[in-house]
A and B are shown apart, each in its own frame.
Chain A
C-alpha cells in the first residue's frame, strides 16, 4: 500500500512564525504535491515537484516555499505565517506522468493566531 505521511495532524502557530510542514512517501514516487483545502474552494495547488531539487509553482504559491532534497521527502515552508494561511494542508505523491492517480496524506490542520 502507498503510504504518505505528514509530520503533524494539528499545528497552532503565531503570526510571523516560520512554519515547516513535512511530507514523506514510501513508494519511490517521482511527483509530490502540496495543496491547501478551504471550505467552498476545494483543493488548490501550492507547489509541486517532479524530481529531487525540482519544483514548480502551483496556483497559489505566494507566501510559501518548498524544498525537496530527497526523493521521498517534500517540505512546505511558510516563511512568515499569517492568519489567512489557516487551512488544511494536504500532501500527495504520484508516479511520473501527471495522469497517474495521486495518493494523499492525512493532512495537517494549521491554525495561525
Chain B
C-alpha cells in the first residue's frame, strides 16, 4: 500500500498564481518529513525538513507546513524558474531509510 502519496501528479500555473502541493502519509511514528526539488536530468536538491505537527519552514517563495497526516508545500507568486518536480519523503520508526512519494511535476508559465 502507498505510504506516501503526492498530489496532484502534475500542476500547471501561470506566473504569479499561488498554489499548494500536497504530501499525505499513512506511516506511524513519523520522525521527519523532507521536501526536495528535482530539475530534469538532475538529482534531487534538499529544500526542507519538518519534524513535528504545526512546524513551518520558509525559503523564498516556498513554505512547507506539517500536520499529523500531511504536509503542504505552498508556492507564493511562482516564477518560471520554480518549474521542477517536487518530491516529499518520510522517515518513520522501524525503517532506516527514507520513503519517497512519486512527486508533483510543476510547470509555471510566463
Kindly identify, within residues 47 to 96 of chain A, every residue whose CB is under 8 Å from any CB belonging to chain B.
48, 50, 56, 58, 90, 92
Residue of B31, B42, B49, B95 touching A101 (CB-CB under 8 A): B49
- The distance from the CB of B14 to the nearest CB of chain A, in whole angstroms, is 26
Contact of B34 with A42 in the complex, beta carbons under 8 Å: no
Q: Is the interface of A mostly helix, strand, loop or mixed?
A: strand
- Say yes or no for B55: interface residue by CB 8 A criterion: no
Residues in A whose Cβ lies below 8 Å from that of B36: 104
Contact of B43 with A101 in the complex, beta carbons under 8 Å: no
Residues in A whose Cβ lies below 8 Å from that of B41: 106-107, 109
Residue of A45, A56, A90, A109 touching B44 (CB-CB under 8 A): A90
**Which of B44, B89, B95, B100 has the most chain A CB atoms inside 10 A of its CB?**
B44
Kindly identify, within residues 78 to 110 of chain B, every residue whose CB is under 8 Å from any CB belonging to chain A.
87, 89, 91, 95-98, 100-103
Chain A: residues with Cβ within 8 Å of the partner, total of 25
Residues in B whose Cβ lies below 8 Å from that of A45: 97-98
Contact of B97 with A98 in the complex, beta carbons under 8 Å: yes
Residues of B within 8 A of A (CB): 31-32, 34, 36, 41-46, 49, 51, 87, 89, 91, 95-98, 100-103
